[in-house]
Every structure is written in C-alpha cells, then in structure tokens.
Amino acid sequence: MLEASHGQNLHFCAHGLIDRAPFRNFGSKLPNLSRRNPSTTNPILPNRTATMGRELQKKKRRSNRQPVKQSNKTKKILNPRGNNIIAKNWDKKETLAQNYRRLGLVARLKAPTGGVEKKLGATTTGISKNDPFAITSVGKAIVSEAKVERDADGKIIRVLGTTRPNPLNDPLNNLDSDSEDGAGEEWGGIAEREAEEEDTTDVVRSLIEESHNPAPKAPRYQSEGEREWLEKLVEKHGDDYGAMARDAKLNPMQQTARDIGRRIKKMRGE
C-alpha cells in the first residue's frame, strides 16, 4: 500500500493503480477485481447520479420560463379579397372546395385525384350537366339501332345506313371518328351557361353580369417629377424624340422614343 502525496490511499492490483476512497463502504479489505477468479462478485459502486433527474425537475419548476404550448389552431381561415360578390357569400366554416361547390364555381379544372371532400347535404348545389370539366363514367353500354343485311344462313353481310357521304372519294372516310358521329358534346361557352337558369346560382349570375360590365379605366396622372423631367428633355432636344431616347444623362432609365413622345403629348394635353 502506498501513501499518495495528495492524501489518498492507492492500491496496486491486476488492473493497475486503484483509488481506495470509493470503496470505504466495503471495509478494510479491498474486493478482488480480477476477472480470472469466477467466484468474485462485481462490487456495487455508489450511484452519484441517482438524484440528477429529480434535481433537474426541481430546477425547471423554480424557473420563471413558461413552457411553450403548441397551438391547436392549425387550419388557416381563408379570407377572400379578390371579388366582392364571392367575399359576401363566403362561409369561413367551410373549406375552399366546399365554398366553391356551394356557390356553383369550379375549384380546380382537372379531375379530382385521391380523396374527395365531404359534401354538405343542405347547402350543396348541383353542377351543370354540360360542365366541360366534369368527367363522367359510362355505366351501361350505349344501345343503338341499325339496319343490317343478312344472307340465306342468317349471317350479317353488311350494315345499312352507316356510310358517310364521300364526294371526294376520301379513303379515310370510313374510319371511325369520335368527332364526326356527334359522340362528343361541344361546350357552348358562357352563353350556354346563361341559358341554364335552373343550374346556375345567384352568385354565378352576379359574376356573369359583372363580367359584362367591365370596370372603368382610371385615368393616369403625371407627377410633378415626371413633368420636370419632360420639360428638361424638351428644353434640350425640342421635338427630337430619338435624341431624347439616346440621352444617357437625362434618360438614365432608357425610355424609348415612342414612350417619351406619348408622355410629352399627354403633358401638353394633345
């Protein structure tokens, strides 16, 4: 046993130099830490970090810092500001797609992919049957009548009445074409929508009426700085708009000759 200079007891074992201070609870005899002896039990070291978690919780409770809470308000409430008619009829409790469906508008031009939003029973409005963006599936086969010619055995030889007129002897005339048989329905534009009074809502009618009456164009007023700039150009170059456009000092923004001439005519009231 050696006495260290700093007052601690040291002991030599198979693992090297060991401090005896943590093993005072085991008596005067130091336990054997050699791995070669299978009967040696592992010593129970003092747990110095047992109270660390409890002290940390006490420190948190004593702190004046308030805990951060996540807001339950995750959904952003839409507030339309583009059109006054839509803003007046907007319901903030509904989603964008539900509002558009109730007002008779189309939320997206493409076909829906994935899930579909829940439709409100009392406030939903039917979509027009001739909606160009509505994709409908054919549930049953289309049944049509045609005259056929049969032979003596009852086999169909040819179908009568299905040939198209071919005055130019076009060899591609007899090929199938969806656009010539009237299978596809052509959209008549806004005029067709206006004729369907029962399928349109009051909001759609108001929007159509507003589109027919465009807003008046507001006149553009020239500022004092623009007038001073034009007066300097006229004083230096007269009516030569090309020279005004090439003047790098008075025309640093590189306005064209036509634009400068239009501004000068407006200043003169022409």
Question: Would you list the domain boundaries of the chain?
Answer: 1-30, 77-109+201-209, 224-268
d(CA 264, CA 237): 12
CA dist list (Å): 268 to 109, 143, 221, 247, 260: 49, 74, 13, 21, 12
**Burial class of residue 234 (count of CB atoms within 10 Å of its CB; 0-12, 13-18, 19+):** middle
pLDDT of residue 3: 47
What is the model's pLDDT at position 256?
95
What is the structure's pLDDT at 59? 84
User: Can you give the pTM of this predicted structure?
Assistant: 0.33
Tell me the per-residue pLDDT of 126-165, one tens digit each, with 9 for 90 and over.
555 556 666 666 666 666 677 888 888 888 888 776 566 6
Query: First vs last Cα of the chain: how many Å apart?
Result: 115
* pLDDT at position 197: 54
Show the beta-strand stretches assigned E in the chain: 2-3, 9-13, 16-19, 147-150, 156-160
Give the span between the Cα atoms of 104 and 128, in whole angstroms: 9
Q: What is the mean pLDDT of each run of 10 residues along the chain (270 residues)?
A: 48 53 53 52 57 77 79 69 88 86 84 69 53 62 75 84 70 60 48 56 87 83 94 95 95 95 91
pLDDT in tens, 29-42: 555 555 555 555 55
**CB neighbourhood size of 104 (10 A):** 19
CA distance 263 to 222: 9
Question: Any residues with CB less than 8 A from the CB of 233 and at least 6 apart, and which?
Answer: 244, 247, 250, 251, 260, 264
- pLDDT on residue 183: 46
Residue 180's alpha-carbon distances to 89, 131, 145, 185, in angstroms, are 43, 21, 18, 11
Output the six-digit token pair for 206. Answer: 């108001």
Q: What's the token pair of residue 46? A: 């003092």
% the chain with pLDDT above 90: 18
